[in-house]
Structure 1
Amino acid sequence: MIIRKRYMYACLSLLLLCLLNANSYGQTLKEFFNNKTIPLTYLGVDFTLAKVQGEVASANEIRDKFEAINTVIATEVKKYDVAGAFQRSTSTNELSMINKLNESASTEKMKTDNLSDLEKNVKPEDVNKHVKAYDLSGKKGIGLVFIIDGMSKTNKEATMYVTLIDLASKKVLMAERMTGKAQGFGLRNYWAYTVYKVLNDIDKHKYSDWADAAAKAPEVKEEVVEEPKKGTSAAKEPKAKKGKKA
C-alpha cells in the first residue's frame, strides 16, 4: 500500500513538472501563423525612437499627437483592421504601456532637416533591446507593436518595424521594416494613415509571405535546464591527479 502511494505521488509529481515546463515555453512564430485562434494583443505605435524630418510643427506639438494617433487606430477598427491584417477574428488593445512611453519621449533630437538621418535610424538589434525594456508583466500570448523608425514630410511616408513579441518572455519573434505613405489633414490623420497603409500591405501581401516562411522554418527545441538537487553542486569539479614522487 505504501509502495502504491509512493508510485502515485511520483507520477503526479512528474505530470506537474511536465506541465510547468510546457507552460514555461513561449509561443513561436510558427505556432502563431499555424493557429489562427492564438490571440493577438495590439500594443500600439511606439514613437520613442522616431526621427521626424521636414515637419513644420514643433517637437512638442508632434509628441502631443502620439496618443491621439494611437487612439484613432484603436477605435476606427474598420479602417485600421489590425485583427483582419493578421487573420484573427478579434484582437485585444493594450495601449497604456506604449502611451506612457510616448508621453516621455525625448524631443531634444526628434526633429531633423536631413533625409539621410532617416536611413535606418533604428536597427533590428535596437528593436530587440528596446522591447526588453517594455513593462509586460502579467501578459501572455503574442503582442504586436509598430516601432516607428523615421517620419519624412519630404517623402510623405513613415518607416516602422512591424514587431511581433512573445509577451511572456519579451522575445522578439519578428521585426520587419516596412514603409507606409502619409496622407490626410492634420498631424494625427496624416501620420496615422501610414499605419493604415502598412496594415493594408500586410493584409494583401506580407502576411502570406510571413506564414510561408514560418512554415518552412526548422523547429527550434528549447532545452530544459534542471535545477540541481538540494545538497548537490551543479557541476562536480574533477579530482586533481596526484603527482608521482621524484
Structure 2
Amino acid sequence: MKQLLVALMLATVLPLFGQTPQEITSITFYGVDYSLVRVYGASESPTQFRTAFAAINDLFITEPKKYDISKFTGKKLNEISLDAVSEVNHKINLHDLVTTTPDYTLDATQITQAVRRLPIKKGAEGTGAVVVAQLLNKADNRGTYELVYFDVATREIIDGITLSGKAGGFGLRNFWAGSLYKALKDLR
C-alpha cells in the first residue's frame, strides 16, 4: 500500500518539472557558488577563503581529468562557464562568512535564490548545473554542498542533491577542494 501511495505521489509531482533527473542528458556547468557558504572553526581569514574559492573553481579548467564533472554526474558536458560564479563569489560579504553554528545549512528558498541570482548571459538555454556550497566545517574536516540542476532559461530547479565530503590536503585551496572532490566522487 505504501509503495502504491509513493508511486501515485511521484506520478503527480514529477510532471510539474520540465525534466526528471534521469532525462537530463547534457549540462552546462557553472562551477561552485560560495555566495551563501559559511565557515566554521577555521583560523584563516575571510579574504584568504575568497581567494581559495576562486582557485577551487579554476580546478575544473586546470585539472579537467580529476575534476571531470561529466564523469561525476554521468551527464554530457556542453561547456564549463565559470563567469557567473566568479562574479557572485567575488561579491561575498566577508563579514558573514564565518559562523559559530556547526550545523549551518541552507533551505530550499536560499538555494533557489542563489540559482536565480547567477548572472548568466541572456539567451542561454538548456540544463545548467551548479554546486552551491553550504558549510565548510574545519572542526569536522567536512564540506557540505548542494548540486543543483536547473533550466538555464527560466532558472527553475529540476533537481538538487545534497553532498558531503571529507576535507584533506596541504594548503587552504587543496584542503577544501578535497572535500568537494570527495563529495562529487560519491555521486558515481
Runs of 5+ consecutive residues of structure 2 not aligned to the other structure: 1-16
Greater relative contact order (Cα < 8 A, sep 6+): 2
Is this contact kept in 1: 2:32–2:131, CA < 8 A?
yes
Matched, 1:166 2:151: yes
Corresponding residue to 2:171 among 168, 181, 186? 186
Query: How much does 1:89 deviate?
Result: 4.3
Is this contact kept in 2: 1:82–1:91, CA < 8 A?
no
Matched, 1:198 2:187: no
Per the alignment, do residues 202 and 72 of structure 1 end up closer, same or farther by CA in structure 2, a change over 3 Å counting?
same
1:42-96 per-residue CA deviation (whole Å, 9 max, x = no partner) reads 1000111011011111111111221111001333122112011222344410001
Per the alignment, do residues 114 and 134 of structure 1 end up closer, same or farther by CA in structure 2, a change over 3 Å counting?
closer
What's the counterpart of residue 117 of structure 2? 133
Runs of 5+ consecutive residues of structure 1 not aligned to the other structure: 1-26, 204-246
Question: 3-state DSSP class of the match of 1:112?
Answer: coil
What's the counterpart of residue 232 of structure 1? none
Counterparts of residues 1-246 of structure 1 (less than 5 Å): 28-30=18-20, 33-34=22-23, 36=25, 39-116=26-103, 118=104, 120=105, 122-136=106-120, 137-203=122-188
What's the counterpart of residue 220 of structure 1? none
Question: 3-state DSSP class of the match of 2:159?
Answer: strand
Query: How much does 1:35 deviate?
Result: 5.8
Query: How much does 1:180 deviate?
Result: 1.2
Q: Normalising to structure 2: TM-score of the pair?
A: 0.84
Is this contact kept in 2: 1:83–1:91, CA < 8 A?
no
Query: Which of the pair has more CA radius of gyration?
Result: 1
1:176-232 per-residue CA deviation (whole Å, 9 max, x = no partner) reads 2221111111111111112211221111xxxxxxxxxxxxxxxxxxxxxxxxxxxxx
Aligned residue pair count: 171
Question: 3-state DSSP class of the match of 2:186?
Answer: helix
Once residues 73 and 105 of structure 1 are traced to their aligned partners in structure 2, the CA distance between those partners, rounded to angstroms, is: 21
Per the alignment, do residues 35 and 62 of structure 1 end up closer, same or farther by CA in structure 2, a change over 3 Å counting?
closer
Query: How much does 1:158 deviate?
Result: 0.8
